[in-house]
Amino acid sequence: MRKLIAGNWKMNGLISSQAEIQALKGLTGSATCDIVVCPPFTLIDRAVERAKDSKLVIGAQDCHAQRSGAHTGEISAEMLADIGARYVILGHSERRVSYGEDDEIVLAKAVAAHRAGLIAIVCVGETRHERDEGRAIEVVGEQLRESVPEGATSANLVIAYEPVWAIGTGLVPTNEQIEEVHAAIRQMLEERLGRDGNSVRILYGGSVKASNAAVIFGLRNVDGALVGGASLKASEFAGIISAAV
């Protein structure tokens, strides 16, 4: 399966950061993987403009479940599609933890993303405490069951396995731990979507860097990465992209 490398800029980036988009655009010509960058809402429009005529794809980091209405400060999936975003990250642990987003909310947002024609990158992952209790697969399984909408297919759904304790910490699960969870996710996707579940891309996320990407990409059922910190500099992101052969 062709790998997908998605960068999550989180709340980083000013107009001057467009230089990074320009640099990434240059990389996509020869890349053997799909590349998505999800800048903050304020930069999506400009990034889409800049990525025009290249294979660089722009996404968003969140959306609201409703199409429009009295939701001060929110952005709908339709608005994102309108300005040319093609992907949206949903259920990132920072949103689950800091903004109280539970599976029901993530599900509603994923339904909205599909309604607007966006590809949903649904994030799942256990906390350190849940892993220590031996509940990683149970937790990930429940998040997956509860937040993947009816009608999901390999064309509109990507799953990102992101252990909460590995995000931004420099800690990475062992290769065996990554393979174990990705295999369980694959099995659940097949049970849910039938044969098409085999084609849904499952990304690993959590402290991926140029130096560890090749090993992670070599693991079974790892179809790419969701990258936070290391996606902010095109030079570092380029190292991850080139590891995805």
Q: Which residues bind ligand PEP (CB under 6 A)?
A: 8, 92, 162, 167-168, 205-208, 226-230
3-state DSSP of 82-99: HCCCCEEEECCHHHHHHC
Catalytic position from the list 20, 94, 162, 182? 162
CB of 87 to ligand PEP, least distance (A): 13
Quick one: 117 or 168, whose CB is closer to ligand PEP? 168
Choosing from 20, 64, 92, 101, the catalytic residue is 92
Q: How many CB atoms lie within 10 A of CB 73?
A: 5
Q: For ligand PEP, which is the closer residue by CB, 193 or 216?
A: 216
Q: Which two tokens stand for residue 68?
A: 């429009």
Active-site residue, 114 included: no
Nearest residue by C-beta to ligand PEP? 228
Which is nearer to ligand PEP, 193 or 206 (by Cβ)? 206
Q: How far is CA 222 from CA 55, 90, 148, in A?
A: 22, 19, 19
Least CB distance from residue 38 to ligand PEP, whole Å? 9
Distance of closest approach, residue 27 Cβ to ligand PEP, in angstroms = 18
Cα–Cα distances in angstroms (integers) from residue 105 to residues 46, 59, 95, 111, 149, in the given order: 29, 19, 11, 10, 11
Closest separation in Å from C-beta 80 to ligand PEP: 18
Ramachandran class of 21: left when φ > 0, alpha when ψ lies in -120 to 50, beta otherwise: alpha
Q: Look up 64 and say whether it is catalytic.
A: no
The CB density around residue 34, as the number of other CB atoms within 10 Å, is: 21
Q: Which is nearer to ligand PEP, 159 or 230 (CB)?
A: 230
- Closer to ligand PEP by CB, 77 or 167: give it: 167
What's the token pair of residue 154? 């390999």
CB of 200 to ligand PEP, least distance (A): 18
158 bridge partner residues: 121, 201
Helices and strands: H and E segment counts in the chain: 10, 8
The residues assigned a catalytic role are 92, 162
